[in-house]
């Protein structure tokens, strides 16, 4: 059951704990402190890699009932995200990590639906820097 | 093949991974991130501990516990991939404690192959573990159809896996970390195909005891 006002959650999954955390900080700075964005980077012992336990705790932490978008960087991050996919509630955005995270966080902060957040993240593919 | 057989298989894989750890890591250093040997070693060390803590009572349960532990403990792409493979095998064998036939094992491997292909999106020729797992699974199914005994059938599966792994050397990677390297990936054996061949060698070794 989705509670009124529930926001879509976002989990940034990176091989690197520091990269995931800093991407969250950047997204929150731009999208506002109310957005539910969590970092799931690195292995359980802090090395480069992915931890399914970190990702599933992050999903639980940001899930308010409106769904969660997973944004992985590459390799095992993608495979780990795929293990946790649940159609209609936990979905993967196949997008550039930083730009996708920011676009998704902004859309989620404005109260977009799960599909709306996914679409916003995918739009990030088309952003030009020059 | 009973619960002792499958437990012995997993233990033999763990031993072979520990022995082959540096070799797998060297293969991965050439075209990946140099952690395949250490990741699998960490994963199978955790699997041994899990099997010892709560010894499973059926072949399916051995493989499911192996897969679940690999997914949680490996930390690299091989965790979700091998984890899915063993879990799919475990699910295919079901909850019964009857001996697994060669045909049953072949069907379980086919499920593992389907799970790995779906998760990673790789097909044969992409320079991945699928290049060893696909041929080995087919070889075992054919051997079971022909009514070969376990040792002959597992010889055939091991040979097909090893040949599949060697055949990845001239390929250019189209999936996984190595695919970022483009042509630079040519000339190196795929570490995932090599570790899959190792698991079929372990299977054959256990059948010969």
Averaged pLDDT for residues A41-51: 92
pLDDT tens digits for B165-178? 999 999 999 988 78
Residue with tokens 């570790």: B195
The answer to whether A107 touches A123, Cβ cutoff 8 Å, is: no
User: Is the dihedral angle over the CA atoms B1, B5, B7, B12 positive or is it negative?
Assistant: negative
Closest residue, chain A, to B39 (C-alpha): A49
* Contact residues on chain A for B77, CB-CB shorter than 8 A: 75-76, 79
Range of the domain at B70: 3-207
Buried b (16+ CB within 10 A) or exposed e, B22-44: ebbbebbebbbbebbbbbbbbbb
Averaged pLDDT for residues B135-141: 98
Q: Give the CA dihedral B33, B25, B196, A81, nearest 10 degrees.
A: -30
Distance, CA of B109 to CA of B6 (rounded, Å): 13
pLDDT of residue B19: 97
Q: List residues bridging with A39 in a β-sheet.
A: A12
Range of the domain at A80: 12-125
A77 φ/ψ angles, rounded to the nearest 5 degrees? -60, -40
A48 φ/ψ angles, rounded to the nearest 5 degrees? -80, 130
Model confidence at B132, pLDDT cuts 50, 70, 90, reads very high
Q: Which of B5, B48, B15, B56 is nearest to B207 (CA)?
A: B5
Residue B89 has pLDDT above 60, yes or no: yes
pLDDT tens digits for A61-83? 999 999 999 999 988 899 999 99
Residue A28 domain-assigned (yes or no): yes
Total domain count, chain B: 1
Model confidence at A3, pLDDT cuts 50, 70, 90, reads low
End-to-end alpha-carbon separation of chain B, Å? 12
Averaged pLDDT for residues A107-122: 97
Minimum distance, in Å, between the CA of residue B142 and any CA atom of chain A? 31
Average predicted confidence (pLDDT) for chain B: 96
Residue contact B76–A49, C-beta within 8 A: yes
Least confident interval from A62-66, B33-37, B78-82, B104-108: B33-37
Closest residue, chain A, to B83 (C-alpha): A83
Average predicted confidence (pLDDT) for chain A: 94
Other beta carbons less than 10 A from residue A45's beta carbon = 9
Distance, CA of A49 to CA of A17 (rounded, Å): 9
Residue contact A76–B79, C-beta within 8 A: yes
Closest residue, chain A, to B117 (C-alpha): A79
pLDDT of residue A57: 97
Averaged pLDDT for residues B132-150: 97
* Contact residues on chain A for B179, CB-CB shorter than 8 A: none
Residue contact B75–A75, C-beta within 8 A: no
Q: Which of B83, B63, B62, B85 is nearest to B72 (CA)?
A: B83
Residue B65 has pLDDT above 90, yes or no: yes
* Contact residues on chain A for B84, CB-CB shorter than 8 A: 83
- Which of A47, A82, A83 has its CB closest to that of B75? A47
How many contacts does A have with B, using Cβ atoms within 8 A?
Answer: 48
CATH code for the domain of B73: 1.25.40.340
Residue A4 has pLDDT above 90, yes or no: no
Residue A130 domain-assigned (yes or no): no
Q: Which of B33, B41, B80, B116 to probe the A interface (max A CBs under 10 A)? A: B80
Angstrom CA distances, B122 to A71, B35, B156, B175, B200, stand at: 21, 20, 23, 6, 20
Task: Give me the catalytic one of A10, A12, A13, A15.
Answer: A15
CATH code for the domain of A73: 3.40.50.510
Residue A1 domain-assigned (yes or no): no
Residue A120 has pLDDT above 50, yes or no: yes
Q: Which of A55, A89, A58, A67 is nearest to A8 (CA)?
A: A67
Residue A1 has pLDDT above 50, yes or no: no
Minimum distance, in Å, between the CA of residue B145 and any CA atom of chain A? 33
Q: Determine whether A15 is an active site residue.
A: yes
Residue contact B75–A79, C-beta within 8 A: no
pLDDT of residue A2: 56
- Which of B71, B120, B177 has its CB closest to that of A52? B71
Please enumerate residues of A whose Cβ is less than 8 A from a Cβ of B.
Answer: 43-44, 47-53, 74-76, 79-80, 82-83
Total domain count, chain A: 1
pLDDT tens digits for B10-47? 999 999 999 999 999 999 999 988 899 999 999 999 99
Residue A2 domain-assigned (yes or no): no
Closest residue, chain A, to B179 (C-alpha): A75
Please give the model's pTM, rounded to 2 decimal places: 0.90
């Amino acid at each position: 059951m989705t509670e009124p006002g529930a926001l879509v959650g976002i989990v940034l999954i990176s091989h690197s704990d520091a990269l995931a955390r800093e991407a969250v900080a950047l997204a929150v700075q731009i999208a506002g402190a109310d957005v539910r964005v969590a970092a799931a980077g690195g292995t359980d012992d802090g090395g480069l890699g992915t931890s399914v336990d970190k990702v599933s705790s992050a999903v639980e932490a940001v899930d308010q009932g409106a769904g969660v978008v997973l944004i992985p960087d590459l390799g095992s991050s993608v495979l780990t995200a795929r293990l946790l996919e649940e159609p209609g509630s936990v979905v993967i955005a196949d997008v550039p990590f930083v730009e996708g995270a920011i676009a998704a966080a902004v859309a989620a902060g404005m109260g977009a639906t799960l599909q709306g957040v996914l679409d916003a993240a995918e739009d990030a593919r088309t952003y030009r820097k020059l | 093949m009973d619960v002792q057989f499958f437990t012995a298989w997993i233990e033999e894989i763990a031993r072979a991974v520990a022995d082959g750890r540096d070799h797998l890591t060297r293969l991965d250093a050439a075209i990946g991130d140099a952690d395949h040997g250490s990741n699998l070693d960490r994963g199978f060390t955790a699997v041994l501990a899990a099997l010892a803590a709560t010894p499973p009572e059926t072949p399916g349960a051995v493989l499911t516990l192996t897969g679940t532990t690999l997914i949680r403990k490996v930390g690299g792409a091989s965790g979700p991939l091998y984890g899915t493979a063993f879990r799919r095998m475990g699910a295919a064998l079901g909850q019964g404690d009857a001996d697994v036939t060669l045909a049953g094992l072949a069907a379980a491997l086919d499920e593992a192959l389907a799970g790995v292909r779906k998760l990673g999106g790789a097909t044969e020729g992409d320079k991945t573990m699928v290049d060893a797992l696909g041929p080995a699974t087919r070889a075992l199914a054919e051997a079971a159809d022909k009514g070969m005994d376990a040792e002959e059938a597992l010889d055939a599966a091991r040979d097909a896996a090893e040949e599949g792994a060697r055949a990845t050397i001239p390929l250019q990677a189209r999936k996984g970390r190595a695919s970022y390297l483009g042509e630079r990936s040519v000339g190196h054996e795929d570490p995932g195909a090599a570790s899959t061949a190792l698991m079929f060698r372990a299977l054959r070794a256990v059948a010969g005891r």
